[in-house]
Chain A
Amino acid sequence: MSVLFYIGALLIVIGGICDLFGALGLLKFPNFYVRLHAATVGTIGGAVVPLFGVALLALGADFLPHRYAIAGASFITGIIVLLAAPAGAHALAYAAHKAKLVEWKPKVDHLKEVRE
């Protein structure tokens, strides 16, 4: 077992912690936009980081059969989630802002012109 194994395991633990914080934020934050931030912490920190962790862990584990296949699959899945999650969050926030569904008191609103 090389150092990659331990880095991967650490990343998986970090992912678990991010998931916990994301869930707490989703329950406790005051409005839609801040909750969306917590949800993104859950997807990027709680899904992408542990997927990369699994890839590193599989590369470092000599005893594992088909470890290159496992590493490749989790790496690709991680990349896809890494691309899709921010775009999805962006689309949600944009739609909520445009539909004026969320009540909020912003300090700065750079998207004001889109709303009219």
Chain B
Amino acid sequence: MRGKGLITAVIILTFAALMTYAVVSLQVFSEGTGVRPLGEFYLENSYFGDYSAKSPEVVTSILWDYRGIDTLFETAVFFLAIIGSLTIFRLTKEQEKEVKKVESAPTELTPIVKDVTKVIVAMILAVSASIALHGHLTPGGGFQGGSALAVAPLLIIAAYSKYALEKNGLDKTRALILRSIGLLGIALVALVPLLSGGFVMQNQPIFPAEIGGQLIGGSLIYYNFFEFLAVGAGFTAVFLLLSIPEEKFKKILEVKK
């Protein structure tokens, strides 16, 4: 037992020493000064050129600009995954009502957890909106912001209950409507350039790069906002579905038999 721990310690320390040596002496991470040709190409096509996205965040501008169709299908894959899971657990209108009914008082966590959840949910909403809407300036974007947004309903389900969320108006149908609005928004923004003689998902010079002196990166902010909505609401719908008690599901299935 003691020998095993010693071997692990020796391996970890050797690895740490080698990594330190590689970083400090061999300088594996420093690339010298100046921009390489590939980096120059990306900068030219994301920030400086006439047909770029005019956004300093190169990754986002590549994702939603000249690699845009690929991202569109990526979103479609996510959309299909959610549609698939909703189809597996498909319920009729009466069953939907049955699932929403509170039978016994749901067990909630202690007041300490509930109060902290209230504060943190508000902060998560603000942080996720900031991640999504600053997607053209800082690392992050619609998908990352939407995933952070989906943590808020998940925390409420854990600390309170699924019924608390539904009582306050956020049920599965509403989440699905929100998600559809997001997807529709992405499709419409993608098609807007066709009206002014551009091609699908073109960014510059069709969309304004700045509004009121604020850099918005052309179409990037719209894509990020709608993706934020679609991903956040899609995850929320799946979480609401998964938090239905198994007993209720089994009861509904038996009734149908």
B119 x A90 contact (CB < 8 A)? no
Q: Which of B109, B110, B123 contacts A80 (CB 8 A)?
A: B123
Q: Is the interface of A mostly helix, strand, loop or mixed?
A: helix
Find residues 76-97 in chain A having any chain B CB closer than 8 Å to their own CB. Answer: 76, 79-80, 83-84, 86-87, 90-91, 94
* Cβ distance A44 to chain B, nearest Cβ, rounded Å: 14
Rounded to whole angstroms, the CA-CA distance of A94 and B111 in the bound complex is: 12
Tell me whether A84 and B138 are in contact (CB under 8 A): no
- With A69-B138, A76-B127, A80-B127 known as contacts, the answer to whether A94 contacts B110 (CB < 8 A) is yes
- Chain B residues 106 to 135 lying within 8 A of chain A, measured CB to CB, are 109-110, 112-113, 116-117, 119-120, 123-124, 127
Are A87 and B127 CB-contacts (below 8 A) given A69-B138, A94-B110?
A: no
| Cα(A17)–Cα(B117), bound, Å | 29
Of A79, A84, A87, chain B has the most CB atoms within 10 Å of the CB of A87
Interface size grouping (class) on chain A: 10 to 19
Smallest beta-carbon distance A75→chain B, Å = 12
Partner of B116, one of A69, A76, A83: A83
B127 contact set on A, CB distance < 8 A: 76, 80
Chain B interface, >50% SS class? helix
- Determine if A90 and B123 form an interchain contact, defined as CB atoms under 8 angstroms apart: no
Given contact pairs A69-B138, A91-B110, A94-B110, A76 touches B117 in the complex (Cβ within 8 A): no
Known: A69-B138, A76-B127. A83 touches B113 (CB 8 A): no
- Whether B110 lies near A90 (C-beta < 8 A) is yes
Asked whether, in the complex, the Cβ of B123 is within 8 Å of the Cβ of A91, the reply is: no
B interface residue count range (under 10 / 10 to 19 / 20 to 34 / 35 or more)? 10 to 19
Expressed in whole angstroms, the minimum distance between the Cβ of A83 and any Cβ of chain B is 6
* Nearest neighbor of A94 in chain B, beta-carbon distance: B110
* Residues B117 and A87 in contact, CB atoms below 8 Å apart: yes
How far is B124's CA from A80's CA once the two chains are assembled, in angstroms? 9
A91 to B109, CA, bound (A): 8
Nearest-Cβ distance from residue B204 to partner chain A, whole angstroms: 24
The CA of A101 and the CA of B159, in the complex, are separated in Å by 21
B120 touches A83 (CB 8 A): yes
A90 and B112 contact, Cβ closer than 8 Å, known pairs A69-B138, A76-B127, A80-B127: yes
Interface string of A22-56 (1 = CB under 8 A from B): 00000000000000000000000000000000000
Q: Identify 22 residue pairs between A and B in the complex whose beta-carbon atoms are under 8 Å apart, listed by A's number.
A: A69-B138, A76-B127, A79-B123, A80-B120, A80-B123, A80-B124, A83-B116, A83-B120, A83-B123, A84-B116, A84-B120, A87-B112, A87-B113, A87-B116, A87-B117, A87-B120, A90-B110, A90-B112, A91-B109, A91-B113, A94-B109, A94-B110
Where the two chains meet, the residues of A that have a C-beta atom closer than 8 Å to any C-beta of B are: 69, 76, 79-80, 83-84, 86-87, 90-91, 94
